[in-house]
Each structure stands twice: as C-alpha cells, then as structure tokens.
Amino acid sequence: MRMIFDLDMDKCVACGACAIACMDQNDTAPETDETPFRRVGTLEPSIGGGRFSWLSISCMHCADAPCIPACPVCCLSKDERGLTVYDNTLCIGCRSCAMACPYGAPTYRADGKMEKCSGCTDRIKYGYEPACVRVCPTGALLCLTEEKYKQIKPSASLRDASAI
C-alpha cells in the first residue's frame, strides 16, 4: 500500500510545529550543528508580483526518487510503502544524493554520514501517523495511502508545484 506525502500550501501557516515534532522524533540536536530534516519558512512576494507562500519542506518520497540511482553505494531504497528509506552503514558522505534531490532533503552528520526523513516508517508500521503530520494544527501536511490521496488531493499541492 503506497503512501504519499504532500503539503497543502493553502493550509500551511509555517507555524513550525512539524519541524519541532520531527526534531523530537528523530532526536535531532541543532545546537550541535545537526541539520533538522524538516524546514519551515515563508516567501514574501516581490514588488509587483508573486504570492505570499507558507511552506514546510522535507523529503517528498518521490515516486521515481532521483537520490536512489545517484547513491554510488546503494544506501537509499524504497520500502514496501513507497517511502524513500536508507541504511547509511555504507554511506561515504559523497553528497551525490544532495546533488540529486530537488528538495534539499539529505543532511549530513558530523561523521559525514547522510541522514534524512524516512517518513517515520516505524510509526507508520505501528499504525501511527508521521510525527510532522500528527502535530500539524491545520491539516496541511498529509501522508495518505495512494487511494485516499486521490480522493482528497489538495488543490495547492506542493507535489504539483514542485513537478520538475
């Protein structure tokens, strides 16, 4: 059963709850220079054009994830739910996945090993929502089965806005 991550940009208010929940779930310590997996921010329109945007960004678990073939030592793969997961035992810290990822999702620990959002695959396995989705107060972050996603796909989908 494939799961799909998305963000409804019409509902996101960039409150940051998702980023905090993600750091808590993954024991990320920014004070020791660890980079959080999820980033939140706003984009102000420039004079004469554009729209104000609120965003929360992490791995989008792309269907044809470009990070997977980019990794020279095959650390990245798809799990049975279509989430892009990793085993960084062999990671050499070469940054090839960073060059491939349109979302800037891979981060690197002090020892050079890559880490990223794994879609809270263990939480999903036990019937829980990913931490970021669980705490989103506006329901902007989504992690749904493909079938359910098709039914309620947001009109302001980050996936669509990001289609490259």
- As measured in angstroms, the least distance from the Cβ of 145 to another protein is 24
Sequence-distant (≥ 6) Cβ neighbours of residue 100 within 8 angstroms = 66, 67, 69, 70
**Contact with another protein (CB under 8 A): which of 13, 20, 23, 98?**
98
User: Residues 131, 22: contact at Cβ < 8 Å?
Assistant: yes
Cα torsion 30, 38, 54, 97: sign: positive
Cβ count near 40 (within 10 Å): 21
In the stretch 53-82, what mask flags binding to another protein with x, by CB under 8 A? x-x-x--------x--xx-xxx--------
Q: Are 73 and 92 in contact (CB under 8 A)?
A: yes
Interface residue with another protein among 11, 13, 79, 103 (CB under 8 A) is 103
Binding site for another protein (CB under 8 A): 9, 35, 39, 41, 43, 45-46, 48-50, 53, 55, 57, 66, 69-70, 72-74, 90, 92-96, 98-108, 112, 158, 161-162, 164
